[in-house]
């Protein structure tokens, strides 16, 4: 049985402003499928950027028995289009879908008739059970973590138990990815992404990660083994770790750093973590092992708004921890949200001023959007803040005019985006930041990252000047 895993794009040249990163989810599935004896190919259209006809040719050339689509909610229409393409090639092709989108809108995702089954939750074990049933021409009624259509009805099976020991999961099939084609701004190439834990210990109201399952993590030995393969087998110069809170288990992080040094691995890496988890011992260990960059979810410069978010951190903590990280020589990237429920123009200005006050090298400002499965979105629906369940209608193909932004009272959506532009201008127009940016964009860096930089400029402009 031949399996084709597809990551979609929007067919319009849309690219993440910071680059295109390897798709770990389907790479993990590919490894499991290949190990089970299936012929597996990955088609990553986010980096290949194929138009509809080219994508159709590539799928046809692969002659798959099954097409598996990885889908994020914003790209759901593209997933349906890819499914439609597969069915046009041959109605006998079975199309399945997985990813975060399936976890929220199970029934709605199958209404089009283009998706034959969906996998929700962790997919490594579920997909093998599904394929075995399909091979034996059996039904999917007993497969946990699966949703499917039967006699015109959508059947949602009970969820599958979480994988307790993440070390049991095979390393992602990096060799099936066009790993040298991925690009990211100001990152050493070639690079790779990693996940060393799943779930999140925290319950921030704007995020769904803390509600998807309990926090589990890989052993330091297992993590560093994968790092070793990336560096010495694939020539990777930088590893980007996408854990929600990499530093949640301090002793584990320190052990990872010790093993990197023991193996004498030479590569750059960065992490995403909460600010309050940082301390001197942890930061010094990270620095000594080659970690060069910290991505920090700061979110707001107003304490009342942080409390509303259930961040569990105060302004003075953020200030102190970030200054410590700056003193130790880390590149610091801060992430902020504007327009959170309960915000006013005054609290937004607090955030802009706080971002300027902190010794950050880069800052990102996003307008808060109600994402499916988050507490703020569910509360907004309950209190009829939105006139309809935006994402449910979106999944069904009914595209509403207004996106689920939380516009502060007395403001219009346009005003909120004007404040976003102001935030970027206030942060990046300062001499220190301009010098840092120019220093980062030295000739060697520009040549090395030219593809990312060329894509970055218009996307950055559009992102900042929208509305």
Give the range of the structural domain holding residue 293, as residue numbers without chain letter: 186-368+405-465
83 with 222, same domain: the answer is no
Give strand pairing partners of 44. Answer: 7
Tokens (6 digits) for 7: 């990551």
241 with 306, same domain: the answer is yes
Number of H helices, E strands in the chain: 18, 17
Three-class secondary structure of residue 148 per DSSP? strand
Q: Is the pTM of this model over 0.85?
A: yes
In a domain, 10, yes or no: yes
Closest by Cα among 270, 304, 273 to 287: 270
415 with 289, same domain: the answer is yes
The total number of structural domains that make up the chain: 2
| Residue 203: per-residue pLDDT | 87
In a domain, 392, yes or no: no
87 with 227, same domain: the answer is no
Q: Residue 280 maps to which CATH number?
A: 3.80.30.20
Average pLDDT along the chain, 467 residues, taken 10 residues at a time = 88 53 92 96 90 94 95 84 95 91 85 92 94 93 94 92 94 90 82 93 83 84 98 94 94 98 97 96 98 96 97 96 97 96 96 98 94 91 91 86 90 95 94 80 53 50 48
In a domain, 164, yes or no: no
110 with 209, same domain: the answer is no
Q: Residue 150 maps to which CATH number?
A: 3.40.50.280
Of the three residues 107, 137, 156, the one that is the final residue of a domain is: 156
| Residue 14: per-residue pLDDT | 39
Q: What is the largest CA-CA distance in the chain?
A: 66
Closest by Cα among 221, 293, 294 to 258: 221
Report residue 371 CA to chain centroid gap.
Answer: 13
The C-alpha atoms of residue 158 and residue 180 are separated, in whole angstroms, by: 40
In a domain, 124, yes or no: yes
311 with 208, same domain: the answer is yes
210 with 347, same domain: the answer is yes
| Residue 10: per-residue pLDDT | 62
In a domain, 89, yes or no: yes
Give strand pairing partners of 69. Answer: 6, 97
Three-class secondary structure of residue 163 per DSSP? coil
């Amino acid at each position: 049985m031949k399996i084709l895993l597809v990551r979609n794009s929007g067919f319009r040249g849309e690219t993440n402003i910071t680059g295109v990163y390897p798709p770990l989810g389907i790479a993990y599935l590919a490894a499991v499928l290949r190990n089970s004896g299936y012929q597996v190919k990955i088609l990553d259209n986010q980096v290949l950027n194929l138009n509809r006809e080219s994508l159709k040719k590539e799928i046809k050339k692969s002659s798959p028995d099954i097409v598996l689509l990885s889908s994020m909610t914003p790209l759901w229409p593209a997933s349906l289009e890819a499914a439609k393409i597969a069915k046009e090639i041959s109605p006998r092709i079975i199309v399945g879908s997985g990813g975060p989108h399936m976890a929220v809108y199970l029934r709605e995702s199958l209404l089009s008739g283009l998706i034959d089954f969906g996998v929700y939750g962790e997919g490594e074990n579920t997909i093998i059970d599904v394929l075995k049933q399909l091979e034996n021409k059996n039904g999917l009624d007993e497969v946990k973590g699966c949703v499917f259509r039967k006699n015109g009805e959508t059947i949602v099976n009970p969820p599958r138990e979480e994988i307790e020991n993440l070390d049991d999961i095979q390393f992602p099939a990096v060799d099936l990815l066009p790993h040298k084609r991925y690009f990211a701004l100001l990152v050493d190439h070639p690079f790779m992404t990693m996940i060393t834990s799943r779930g999140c210990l925290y319950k921030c109201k704007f995020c769904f990660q803390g509600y998807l399952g309990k926090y589990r993590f890989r052993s330091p030995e297992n993590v560093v083994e994968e790092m070793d393969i990336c560096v010495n087998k694939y020539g990777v110069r930088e590893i980007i770790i996408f854990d929600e809170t990499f530093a949640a288990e301090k002793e584990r992080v320190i052990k990872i750093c010790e093993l990197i040094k023991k193996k004498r691995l030479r590569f750059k890496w960065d992490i995403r973590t909460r600010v309050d988890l940082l301390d001197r011992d942890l930061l010094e260990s990270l620095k000594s092992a080659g970690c060069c960059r910290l991505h920090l979810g700061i979110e707001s410069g107003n304490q009342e708004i942080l409390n509303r978010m259930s961040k569990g951190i105060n302004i003075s903590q953020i200030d102190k921890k970030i200054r410590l990280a700056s003193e130790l020589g880390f590149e610091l990237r801060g992430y902020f949200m504007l327009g959170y429920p309960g915000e006013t123009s005054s609290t937004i200005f607090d955030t802009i001023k706080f971002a300027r006050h902190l010794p950050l090298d880069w800052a990102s400002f996003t307008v808060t959007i109600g994402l499916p499965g988050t507490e703020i979105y569910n509360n907004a629906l309950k209190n009829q803040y939105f006139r309809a369940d935006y994402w449910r209608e979106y999944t069904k193909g009914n595209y509403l005019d207004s996106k689920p932004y939380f516009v502060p009272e007395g403001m219009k959506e346009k005003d909120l985006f004007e404040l976003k532009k102001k935030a970027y201008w206030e942060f990046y127009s300062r001499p220190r930041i301009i010098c840092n940016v120019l220093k980062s964009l030295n000739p060697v860096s520009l040549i090395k990252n030219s593809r990312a930089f060329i894509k970055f400029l218009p996307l950055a402009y559009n992102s900042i000047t929208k509305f």
